[in-house]
Amino acid sequence: MTSDAWSAIRLTAELAALSTVLLLLLGTPLAWWLARTRSRLKPLFASLVAMPLVLPPSVLGFYLLLLMGPQGPVGQLTQSLGLGRLPFTFSGLVVASVIYSLPFVVQPLQQAFEAVPERLLEAAATLRSSPWDRFVSVALPLARPGFVTASVLGFAHTVGEFGVVLMIGGNIPGETRVLSVAIYGHVEAGEFAQAHGLAAGMVAFAMVVLVTLYVVNRPRRADDAEPAR
């Protein structure tokens, strides 16, 4: 495997890891609010979160490029703060990845929080437990499978991104050339052997992800839950 391939693998892993951490930090309070709120604005926010599921990646990438470009409001803000421009940088890839993968983290967390029995939270409240204590001591432990699913899906989805990262990051070696873009570049150049090596690795990675999710989410049988006699 060439140094360019290892560079793409390293950059993809760094992007996926950082994006997953940010997604969990941003997605957890958002998912908790969506799971508990009775606001009339809930359908609107839920739809905005789910938007990347139905929008073509090129469309999302195009509008992110306009927003973060030199004439866009985000681009003008980052330049005024001395942060430079986000497009065609690793930071821009992180921002785009977080937005694009947001529903893959928020939705599993929201479902996990909605499955937390209300009576347990009410019982904790009667013991004068604060809302933060109820969240940390009751909701988080019970929602642990949801966090595993959200983490795996967020990481895997970031690894497999193509349209958004190509629009925002381009194909700069060592800076924005992630695995999916590297495979596209090899195919475009007729280097099918190199493309096959990277693509086969991603197929194996996808299989590991799916097996992990099925194992984590496998329903427990009643006889498995009973202690052995």
Global pTM value: 0.86
CB 100 within 8 A of CB 16: no
Residue 137 in any domain: the answer is yes
pLDDT value of residue 225: 46
Contact assessment for residue 201 and residue 184, using Cβ atoms and an 8 Å cutoff: no
Task: Give a yes or no: residue 112 inside a domain.
Answer: yes
Mind listing the pLDDT tens digit of every residue in the chain (229 residues)? 788 888 889 999 999 999 999 999 999 999 999 999 999 999 999 999 999 999 998 899 999 999 998 888 998 998 888 888 889 999 999 999 999 999 999 999 999 999 998 888 888 888 888 888 989 889 999 999 899 999 999 999 999 888 899 899 888 888 889 999 999 888 988 989 988 889 998 899 889 888 888 887 776 654 554 444 4
Rounded Cα gap, residues 126 and 191, in angstroms: 66
197 within some domain: yes
34 contacts 224 by C-beta, under 8 angstroms: no
**Under 8 Å between Cβ of 160 and 180:** yes
Query: Which of 104, 98, 111, 112 shows the shortest CA–CA distance to 50?
Result: 104
CATH code where residue 207 lies:
1.10.3720.10
**What confidence score (pLDDT) does residue 224 get?**
52
Residue 71 lies in a domain: yes
Would you say residue 167 lies in a domain?
yes
- Let me know if residue 225 belongs to a domain: no
- Taking the C-alpha atoms of residue 80 and residue 168, their distance in angstroms, rounded to an integer, is 20
Please give the tally of structural domains in the chain: 1
pLDDT of residue 229: 47
**What domain range is 75 assigned to?**
3-217
| Cα 102 versus chain centre, distance | 5
Asked if residue 210 is part of any domain, the answer here is yes
Domain presence at residue 50: yes
